[in-house]
Amino acid sequence: MKAGILMVAGLMSLLLLPSRLSSQPDVLTFDEFEPYLHHQSDTLYVLNFWATWCTPCVKEIPALEKIREEYSNKNLRVILVSLDFPKQIESRLIPFLGQYSIHSEVIVLNDPDSNRWIEKVDPDWSGSIPATLIYHKDSREFYERSFTYDELKIVINSKINEL
């Protein structure tokens, strides 16, 4: 009886998650993900590399979400590139996205040979997270650090003004 009640409660909680979470994030190899690093449109891209197990990453997610929402009428696209293990998508990542009401695009980068692809993201990247690539066409800046909302807004404003 208790197991049945818990099962029903669990299913009900899944129904209450935002609809954006009804589909799983795309799980990509680096080769599949690499085109995201080279868009040539009039959009400013903010690619944040993070994981649910990274405390500084989790701390800056609300700032990224606020920027996404605040600049929704601008040519700005925030993409959260999760480095969580694919086997933790169901148990850790999707519940995290629901708990924090994440509406940004989320991609899981599943390529264990990070030594092959880290320098393709940025030649000076040590591989630590959080890390953020902000780019528009050929103008690129890479930040191997976490941001507060105010710090991120200053950077975004300077880049938006260049568009």
CA dist 99 and 77 (Å) reads 22
Q: What is the DSSP letter of 20?
A: G
Per-residue pLDDT of the chain (163 residues; tens, 9 = 90+): 444 443 333 433 333 333 344 458 999 999 999 999 999 999 999 999 999 999 999 999 999 999 999 999 999 999 999 999 989 999 999 999 999 999 999 999 999 999 999 999 999 999 999 999 999 998 999 999 999 999 999 999 999 988 7
CA 126, distance to chain mean position in Å, is: 19
What CATH number should be reported for the domain holding residue 33? 3.40.30.10
Residue 132, in any domain of the structure:
yes
Domain total in the chain: 1
Residue 30, in any domain of the structure:
yes
Structural domain that includes position 104: 23-160
Residue 47, in any domain of the structure:
yes
Whole-structure pTM value? 0.85
CB atoms within 10 A of CB 57: 21
Those residues whose C-beta lies under 8 Å from the C-beta of residue 157, and which sit 6 or more positions away, are: none
